[in-house]
Amino acid sequence: MLYTLAGGGTLCGLAALVLLIVSTATDFWMQYRYSGSSANQGLWRFCINHKCHAHTITVAFWDATRAFMLLAVLSCFAGVVLGLSAFTNGTKNRRVRTGGIALVLSGFLALLALAIYTGVTVTFFGKRFLDWRFSWSYIIGWVAIFLAFAAGVFQLCAYQRTTAEPAPSNNPDS
C-alpha cells in the first residue's frame, strides 16, 4: 500500500511540478484589448501586438506573486525528489512524510500567489480594461495547486499507513 500511495503522490507531484514551471514561465496569465490590439501579460513581461516588453514598474503584487510561485516550484521539486528517494533504498518513512509536507507547502505557496494575482487583477485591471480574461497559464496554475495538494495528501497517507501497520513477524512456526 505504501508504494501505491507514495507512487501516486510522486506522479501527481511530478505533474504539478511541470505545470507550475509552465505557468510561471509563460506570458499568458491575462489577455485583454489595449488600443484595439490584443495583449497578454505574464509574471515577467507583457506582450502587445506580438511585441513583448519587460515589466518596468516594480509593484509589490508582482514581486509577491513571482516569489510565491518560485518558492512553490522549489518546494514541489523537493517533494518530488524526496518521494522518489523513498523508493531507492527501501521505504524511508521520514522522506515520504517530508516529501508530503513539501508538496502541501508547494500547493499552499502557489495558492497564495494566485490569490494575490486574482485579487489585484479583478480589482485593478478589471476596472481598467473592459475586455479581459484569465488565460491558460493562469488556469494551469490552479490545476497545479490541486495536483500539489493531492500529491502531498497521498504522500502523508502513505506515511500514516506505514506507521500504523505492524512490522511483519519472522516467526517460522506460523
Could you report the per-residue pLDDT of 66-121, keeping only the tens digit for each?
A: 899 999 999 999 999 988 887 775 555 778 888 889 999 999 999 999 998 888 87
Q: Is the pLDDT of residue 173 over 60?
A: no
Residue 53: count of CB within 10 angstroms of its CB:
10
> Please, are residues 104 and 12 in contact by the beta-carbon 8 Å criterion?
no
* DSSP H helices in the chain: 2-25, 60-85, 93-120, 126-128, 136-164
**Residue 48 DSSP class:** E
The pLDDT of residue 59 = 74
Cα(first)–Cα(last) distance of the chain, in Å?
23
Residue with cell 507547502: 105
> Please, are residues 65 and 121 in contact by the beta-carbon 8 Å criterion?
no
Q: Angle at Cα 148 formed by Cα 144 and Cα 154, nearest 5°?
A: 145
Q: Which fold has domain 1-30+58-163?
A: Butyryl-CoA Dehydrogenase, subunit A; domain 3 (1.20.140)
pTM: 0.82
